Structure formats: C-alpha cells, structure tokens
Amino acid sequence: MNAAVNTTTIGFMLSRPWFWASLLDGLKITLYISGVSILLAFVFGIVVGVARYSRAPVISWIATAYIEFIRNIPLILLMLFCFLVGQMKDVAAAILALTVFTTAVIAEVVRGGLNSVPKGQWEAARSQGMSYLQILRHIVLPQSVTKMIPPIVSQFVTAIKDSSFALLLGVVELTARGNILKSLFSGVGQILMIYAVIALFYFSINFAISLVARALQKRLSAGRGSIG
Amino acid sequence: MFDGFIQWLGNLSLMFSSAKWASLGDHLGLIFSGLGITIVASVLALALALVLGIVFGVLSASNWKPLRAVARVYVEFFQNTPLMLQVVFLGFGLPIVWPQFNAVPVLMVGVIGVGIYHGAYISEAVRAGIQSISKGQLEASLSQGMSYVQAMRHVVIPQALTVVLPPLTNQAVNLIKNTSVLLYIGAFDLMYQAKSIQAANYNPGPVYLVAMVLYFCLCYPLAFLAKRLEDRAEAAQGGGQA
C-alpha cells in the first residue's frame, strides 16, 4: 500500500518513456507520408498547373479534367481506392492518394498565379524572340511566384493534417496513436492529456509552417521588384 | 517485375467483373440512403459552421483585443490540427471523459466535429470580408441620411459578400468532402455504406467508383459556382473605380 504507485495520474503517464516513444514513432510516420507527398506534389503540381494554363488543346483538357475530378472527391475515398483497388501497401497508398490530391490543389494555385500575369507580357516577350519556355522561366514565373507561394505553403499544412486519414488504412500514424494509448490508460485526465499532447504536436509543426508562410508573403510582396 | 504487373492487372480486371457489379446492384438502396445521410450531415454541419464562422469572424474584426484573441485561438487551433483527430476525440475520447456525451447521436457528433472545423475557415473568410470595407463607406452612407441598417443592407453587406462568397462556397465543397470522416464513427453516411458494402462483398472497384461519382455530383456544381463568383469578384475589383 505504501509503495503503490497511482497509475491513473497524468504525471505517471507523462513520465513513461514509452509513451513519448510511441508518439514520436507516430509523428515520424505522419511526417514521412506528408513529407514525401508534399515534395512529389510540389513538382507534379507545377507541371500540371502549367499544362492546365497552356493553350495546347489535349494537354490542357486532360489537366483540367484531372484537377476538377480530384478536387471534388473526398481524399479518404481516394486513399481507400488506391489501397484496395490499386492493391498497394497501406503507407504507399496513403502517399499516392495524398500526392494525387495535393498535386491537383497546387496545380490550381499555379494556374491562378500564371493567369495573373497580363497577356501583353507574352506578346512583348515573344516579339523579342523568346521561346515559350524562356518566357515562362524568365518573365511569367518570377512575377507570379509571389502569389503562389503562400497558398502552396498553406497546402503543406493541409497535407500534414490530411495524412491522418491514413489511419483508416490501418497506418498507425500520430492520430492513430491516440486510439492505442487511450486504451492503455484509464484516468480521465490522462485521456484528455493524450489528445492534448497529440494536438500540440500537430499544432506546433503546422503553426510554425503557417508563420513561415506569412513571413514569406510579407517579404515577397514587399520586395516585388527584386524578384526577377 | 513484369509478371507482377500482369498479376496486378488480372486482379484489377477481376475487381471490375460483372459479378462484382451485380453485387453492387443488390445494395444500391444502401448507397442512396448513405448519400441522403451525407447530404443531411453536410447541411447541418454547414449551418453550424456558418453560425460559428460569422460569430468568430465578427469577433476577429472587432476593435477590442480580448475578443480578437478569443477568435484567433479558435481559428488557429482548428486550422492547425487535423479534423480526424478532432473526430476521434469527439467519438472515442470525450465519451469516456464525459459519459453523458454518449447520449448524443453519432450523426450529430460528426456534424459537431465537421461544423466546428470548417467554422474556423469560414470565420477567416468573414473577417476578410468585413475588413475589405473601409470605415469611410459606412460614414459616408450615414452622412447621406441612411440609417445604420440601411447602410449595412445597401452599401456594406453587398460589397462584403463579393469578398466572402467565393471562399465560403469553396469551404462548402471541402465540408461535403470532409463529411466522409463520419465513416470512422459509424454514422451511416455514403462513405460508411461504401466501405461496409465493399467489406461484405469484396467489390471495392464498383462501390468506390460509384461513390466517387456521387461525391463528384454533389461537389462539382458548388465548385463551379465558386469559380464563377471568383471571376465576378475579380472583375469587380479590377473595374471598381468606374
């Protein structure tokens, strides 16, 4: 009785090393799924966005159909589809679905940014003998990147949050750890604390990214002239 | 590698065999009842999100700092943590901590989760709308003999709506898509029915394809409307000083 440890206190839970190890393992999987998806989607998003913006009929049409379809179906459905119909491993299916989805969103941002550059600039550059790619690379992209970066960065936050849908495929990422840890502790305070700690993990990463996005936006819009 | 691909293709074609489509046909009733629940959940969640969004949007545009701080905490917390985590908490954590919460129907638990989450995004749209109108406009209207209500009704709100409506409509699309998390707490929505039919008959191909088409039919008209509204807002901004 005298040496008995009260296992239902928050302090007991927070002083278990395996409690933190479990959450950090989950965080690793969350960051792996979202990180790989973000990198791939950033590249593909620019390609698809330029394709959507281009005047080439078939290419532009395919890009439009892709963007419109993917943006109007739930990501959860896309993940389950990749997992079962695509016969993929759970983490791979989550990465593929998140990449496909984020690519569509970023492509739309890229198109919007490119559209913001007046058409006259194309004509002016073309009259100077520049090629399509040269104009894109030296004239249009430098001017429109200011508009694209903040929404793209905030899409990174969305990707980190949405990677939690992978728990539906059985991936034990950060959110799914809550379900496991919850069954190991019985204290009311402990259960609240588990969710609070997980929320804090997500919040600190995403809030930091949001702050970077805001700072970027300020710097880019302040130094407009110096970007080209 | 090549053999693996052939086998993958073989499995894929089996998944879309006529027997698998037939087993979907037996459960169309469930699919459409799920669609109905998804629509009901979306409407209720959107109503909640609108109320929260307007209240916190007005708060975050207010001049009094403590009110702004309350709104900031709400917006930042819900924008920076996953909806899935919030729904897992409402569905499986909160009922342990607060047993009375078990009395809330599952559908309403989902509506609360999705509504609060999207309320944070709508609040940001409302704030941007309010801040887009300069104070001078209200003062000018009042000096022309308009009452406060008239000035709001004829001058301020119509302009604010041009700014607020496009992101609001986009949020409605995201909200409909996000009601698919209801499947995790067992709310019999479209996603739930699709997953359970798939589990019972192992026909993920036809079921998920049909569910995709149904979600697309719900979302695309709104997304199209959002784009039209965006174009109109841009035109209004460009030619504003006519």
pLDDT in tens, B76-100: 999 999 999 999 999 999 999 899 9
Q: Which domains does chain B have, with CATH numbers?
A: 29-229 (1.10.3720.10)
| DSSP label of B93 | I
DSSP letter string, chain A:
--S---TTSHHHHHT-HHHHHHHHHHHHHHHHHHHHHHHHHHHHHHHHHHHHHS--HHHHHHHHHHHHHHHTS-HHHHHHIIIIITT--HHHHHHHHHHHHHHHHHHHHHHHHHHTS-HHHHHHHHHTT--HHHHIIIIIHHHHHHHHHHHHHHHHHHHHHHGGGGGGGT---HHHHHHHHHTT---HHHHHHHHHHHHHHHHHHHHHHHHHHHHHHHHHHHTGGG--
What is the per-residue pLDDT for A225? 47
DSSP letter string, B37-92:
HHHHHHHHHHHHHHHHHHHHHHHHTSS-HHHHHHHHHHHHHHHHS-HHHHHHIIII
| DSSP label of B104 | S
Is B82 in CB contact (< 8 Å) with chain A? Answer: yes
What is the per-residue pLDDT for A70? 97
Mutation for B interface: A27, A31, A80, A157, most B CBs within 10 A:
A80
pLDDT in tens, B205-223: 999 999 999 999 999 999 9
What is the per-residue pLDDT for B158? 86
pLDDT in tens, B8-17: 999 898 888 8
Is B85 in CB contact (< 8 Å) with chain A? Answer: yes
Residue of A nearest to B224 (CA): A68
Of B11, B84, B204, the CB nearest to A175: B84
CB B95 within 8 A of CB B101: yes
Cβ contact, residue pair B208, A85, below 8 Å: yes
Q: What is the mean pLDDT of residues A17-23?
A: 95
Distance between A225 CA and the closest CA of chain B, angstroms: 22
